[in-house]
């Protein structure tokens, strides 16, 4: 993302659309679902697999199991589809079979620095690269918009985040212009599309970038969601500023927005803008079609690169089989969503449609949940008609 895209997104939102969550924030996946079940008197049971990992069993009032939520598997998702999504390179090739716009990558071991650098910049030394591990999450080891001059340094930073394991595999791909959005789909229903904006500060003409970061962190601490994700200056921020001829000691002009990173991740101090109501129907259909090409997958998160809210040719960056639902639930700007409500009520609706129960739960939108699930099943069939698997 560049300042151009940052200003484009911000221009669609007013300050009064900023959300400051002061109570009842459940940042963890387990807590989010359990909190909803408790507040809606839905029967459930929990199995502790480890200290952090739990299986949440949704039950009928007669204690029959409806479905289980267990990281990293959502109910109705298929193990084969998940196995494709776990490998970024397999995901990329799978998408290309269906003619879906995505990245073009090459795989190297971390011991092949010079080969990777020479091959990527051979035809165009002015290209910009993305370096990231073949498998991983939470943007660990990911460096974007990397110039030829800074390729080695960024490669080594990524290697350090992989515990200096030179036999581990890395992906090198061309950096795409635009801004990153996350589409969250649960049980065949598009929950939201949010723009994931990297950490940034707004200049006042008096304070340095470092001072502005401290001021912004004090504001983030007022929000029970953002206070867990303060802006902490690290190699990625310094590299990004260096690549853009800026320094942490610079004093930005009044109103000037300064990006601190191209990594669009909330844990690194980013912000979330709910753009669902702004993006075109084409982009929404693109997101649904993309998930539909993965066998037996009804829930997932898609990282999409957009140039505008009506981009006719969006590109898929990654596909996640167990998306972080808090991105949809706690946007910094725009309407919050209830992804946990959609997932749980959809599962209950499907069960009660298929099985008789003497004491059913009252689900207001039951028919809509079933319709979305069936419509998405039809979409999967339609997408797989496009090629000969």
Q: What is the pLDDT of residues 39-69, one digit of tens each?
A: 999 999 999 877 777 899 999 999 999 999 9
For the cut 80, the answer to whether the pLDDT of residue 363 exceeds it is yes
Flag whether pLDDT at 387 surpasses 70: no
Least confidently predicted of 306-310, 375-379, 381-385: 381-385
Residues whose CB falls within 8 Å of the CB of residue 334, separated by 6 or more in sequence, listed in order: 13, 17, 19, 194, 273, 274, 275, 276, 277
Region 359-385 average pLDDT:
95
Tokens read off for 327: 């991105």
Alpha-carbon distance of 175 to 146, in angstroms, equals: 8
What domains appear along the chain, each with residue ranges and CATH number?
22-99+177-198+270-384 (3.30.470.20), 104-175 (3.30.1490.20), 200-269 (no CATH)
**Lookup result for tokens 């001059």:** 149
Q: Rounded to whole angstroms, how far apart are CA atoms 322 and 155?
A: 28
pLDDT of residue 136: 66
pLDDT of residue 385: 79
What 3-state class would DSSP assign to 226? helix
Statement: residue 137 has pLDDT above 70:
no
The percent of residues above 90 in pLDDT, for the chain, comes to 76
Q: What is the mean pLDDT of residues 119-129?
A: 94
Distance CA 35, CA 338 (A): 12
Contacts of residues 338-343 at CB distance under 8 Å and 24 or more positions apart, as own/partner, are 338/36, 339/184, 339/186, 339/191, 339/192, 340/32, 340/33, 340/35, 340/36, 341/36, 342/186, 342/187, 342/189, 342/191, 342/369, 343/33, 343/69, 343/74, 343/75, 343/186, 343/187, 343/299
Band (pLDDT 50/70/90 cuts) for residue 143 is confident
Query: Span 266-278, mean pLDDT?
Result: 94
Q: What is the mean pLDDT of the chain?
A: 92
Tokens read off for 107: 């795989």
pTM of the model: 0.90
Q: How far apart are CA 283 and CA 192, in angstroms?
A: 12
Highest mean pLDDT among 13-22, 238-247, 283-292: 283-292
Mean pLDDT value across residues 311-336: 94
> Residue 389's pLDDT band (boundaries 50, 70, 90)?
very low
């Amino acid at each position: 993302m560049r300042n151009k895209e940052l200003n484009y997104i911000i221009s669609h939102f007013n300050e009064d659309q900023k959300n400051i969550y002061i109570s009842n924030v459940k940042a963890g996946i387990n807590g989010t679902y359990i909190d909803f079940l408790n507040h809606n008197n839905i029967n459930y049971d929990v199995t502790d697999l480890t200290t952090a990992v739990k299986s949440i069993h949704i039950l009928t009032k007669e204690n029959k199991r409806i479905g289980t939520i267990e990281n990293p598997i959502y109910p109705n998702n298929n193990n084969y589809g998940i196995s494709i999504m776990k490998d970024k390179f397999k995901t990329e090739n799978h998408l290309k079979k269906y003619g879906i716009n995505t990245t073009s990558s090459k795989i190297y071991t971390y011991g092949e620095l010079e080969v990777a650098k020479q091959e990527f910049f051979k035809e165009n030394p002015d290209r910009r690269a993305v370096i990231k591990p073949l498998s991983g999450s939470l943007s660990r080891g990911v460096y974007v918009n990397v110039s030829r001059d800074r390729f080695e340094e960024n490669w080594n930073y990524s290697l350090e985040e992989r515990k200096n394991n030179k036999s581990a595999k890395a992906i090198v791909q061309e950096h795409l212009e635009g801004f990153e959005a996350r589409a969250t789909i649960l049980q065949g229903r598009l929950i939201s599309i949010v723009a994931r904006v990297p950490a940034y500060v707004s200049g006042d003409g008096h304070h340095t970038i470092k001072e502005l970061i401290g001021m912004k962190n004090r504001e983030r601490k007022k929000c029970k969601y953002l206070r867990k994700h303060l802006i902490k200056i690290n190699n990625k921020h310094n590299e990004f500023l260096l690549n853009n001829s800026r320094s942490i000691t610079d004093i930005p002009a009044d109103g000037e927005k300064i990006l601190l990173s191209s990594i669009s991740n909330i844990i690194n101090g980013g912000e979330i803008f709910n753009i669902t109501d702004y993006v075109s129907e084409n982009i929404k259909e693109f997101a649904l079609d993309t998930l539909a090409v993965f066998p037996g997958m009804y829930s997932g998160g898609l990282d999409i690169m957009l140039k505008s809210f009506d981009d006719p040719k969006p590109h898929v960056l990654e596909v996640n089989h167990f998306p972080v639902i808090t991105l949809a639930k706690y946007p910094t700007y725009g309407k919050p969503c209830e992804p946990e409500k959609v997932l749980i009520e959809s599962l209950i609706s499907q069960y009660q449609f298929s099985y008789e129960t003497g004491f059913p739960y009252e689900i207001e939108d039951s028919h809509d949940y079933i319709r979305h699930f069936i419509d998405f099943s039809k979409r999967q069939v339609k997408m797989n008609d496009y090629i000969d698997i």
